[in-house]
Chain A
Amino acid sequence: MCLAIPGKILSIEESNELFRSGKVSFSGIVKEVHLSCVPDASVGDYVIVHAGFAISRLDEEEARVILDYLEAE
């Protein structure tokens, strides 16, 4: 149920905060996603999306930390 996947923001429709949404690409599959709870996310950022709603902005530096650590092993 708590499935959420990362997608890249392609565009943001600037409307009032309650209805802030945008097009998000999941490896080419584009869905409309509600963005009001990720106010710091902009076009080109990755967001973690659950049930059509972004619950966080993906921190790309943090994502690299694990992978760099594994590559260094």
Chain B
Amino acid sequence: MKYIDEYRNLNSAGQIAESIAKITRKPHTIMEICGGQTHAIMKYGIEELLPTEITLLHGPGCPVCVTPAEVIDKAIEITTHYSTILCSFGDMIRVPGTENDLSSARADGGDVRVVYSPLDALKIARENPDKEVVFFAIGFETTAPVNAMSVVQAKDLGTSNFSLLVSQFLIPPAIESILGSGRSQVSGFLAPGHVCSVTGCVPYEVIARSHHVPIVVTGFEPVDILQGIYHCVKQLEEGRVEVENQYARSVRYSGNQPAQKLMAEVFQPAARKWRGIGEISLGSLTLREEYAAFNAEKRFGPVRYSETDSELCVAGQVLQGLLKPADCPAFGQQCTPDHPLGAPMVSSEGACAAYYKYQSNSRTSIHKAKS
């Protein structure tokens, strides 16, 4: 596929890995934020190409993983207690709520449908005017504009049987939270290229300056990720702190302004719980009052948050880069993709699922990585 295959070229990846080895003098710990990048790193064995001075940690950039169990419980309640059609991205279907997941709700007779886009869910609502159609609107800034567009269109079309169960998160507050925790070992970040295609680089400049940490906006293919790491290591070795844009073929400095306008029209920042991590100040999005009619929590009752994460599951620490998946005592034992204790073992972007699938490619433990 054009503009993908070129960035998977083995020779190019090898060239960049050699350049990284040449400039690396000191140990550095770099975190990629996005779960898509984590999977590419594991799939292509990127960490194995790097000098041992460089440790990669994996960040919280998996909306499936940080959606609280209580929101999944609400989705299950909506589909089992009411005559509704619940539409969701496929990744969400097998993620455990407090006791159950959406696939078992479907087995119990719930009308749960996997869609590719919230705009497809809106189409289902228009085709089923006698049914309430709820879209499980999870995502980061990449997905917020299309989720927003679905309610803007619903309002314009007068489609009143459509609503969103919103589980939207924002990346910059999560980075602030990691850096402000006092436990962070991260010396540089790879920022998520598709989130930044929407938001641009500007929100990251404040973080880079205030926390004195290099941030490289990075794409998703092996050549992109290695280049992102190269730029990050170069800044660290030279003592520079900047936001650099490796993914300029998609990311403009100011981002996508029509998409930002759309997001701001429909959503507003709020403090809500992230699964395994807790509440992050202004780290989530909720629907604005003007779009309250499309809020599933207004139609079917609010999500009731409590602390219910499995005691065995250390996903929160994995998502904050404090542990690697294989440091969890349940990893690959009580917790597998078939019997997940936590969301990162289910999602196609979860770090635990990536380690489980590609573990032969990894420096599996944070402790081994450092020894």
Q: Within the complex, what minimum Cβ distance (angstroms) separates A66 from chain B? A: 7
CB–CB A55/B36 < 8 A? no
Question: Could you tell me which residues of chain A, from 1 to 41, have a CB within 8 Å of some CB in chain B?
Answer: 1-6, 8, 18-19, 26-27, 34, 36-39
CB–CB A6/B1 < 8 A? yes
Measured CA separation A37–B263 after assembly (Å): 11
CB–CB B6/A46 < 8 A? no
CB–CB A19/B63 < 8 A? no
CB–CB A37/B262 < 8 A? yes
CB–CB B197/A55 < 8 A? yes
Q: Name the one of B1, B139, B250, B258 contacting A1, with C-beta atoms under 8 angstroms.
A: B139
CB–CB B248/A65 < 8 A? yes
Q: Does A52 contact B (CB under 8 A)?
A: yes
Interface size of A by CB at 8 A reads 34
Q: Name the one of A19, A37, A52, A60 contacting B256, with C-beta atoms under 8 angstroms.
A: A37
Q: Name the one of A6, A53, A56, A73 contacting B4, with C-beta atoms under 8 angstroms.
A: A6
Q: Within the complex, what minimum Cβ distance (angstroms) separates A57 from chain B? A: 8
Contacting residues, chain A, for B9 (C-beta < 8 A):
70
CB–CB B140/A52 < 8 A? no
CB–CB A73/B15 < 8 A? yes
Q: Within the complex, what minimum Cβ distance (angstroms) separates A1 from chain B? A: 5
Q: Does B77 contact A (CB under 8 A)?
A: no
Measured CA separation A66–B3 after assembly (Å): 11
Q: Does B307 contact A (CB under 8 A)?
A: no
CB–CB A70/B149 < 8 A? no
CB–CB A27/B2 < 8 A? yes
Q: Does B163 contact A (CB under 8 A)?
A: no
Contacting residues, chain B, for A37 (C-beta < 8 A):
145, 256, 258-259, 262
CB–CB A2/B140 < 8 A? yes
New A-B contacts (20) at CB < 8 Å, excluding given A3-B194, A51-B118, A56-B250: A1-B64, A2-B36, A2-B61, A2-B139, A2-B195, A3-B220, A5-B4, A34-B119, A37-B262, A48-B197, A50-B194, A51-B117, A51-B143, A55-B142, A55-B194, A55-B250, A58-B249, A59-B248, A59-B249, A59-B250
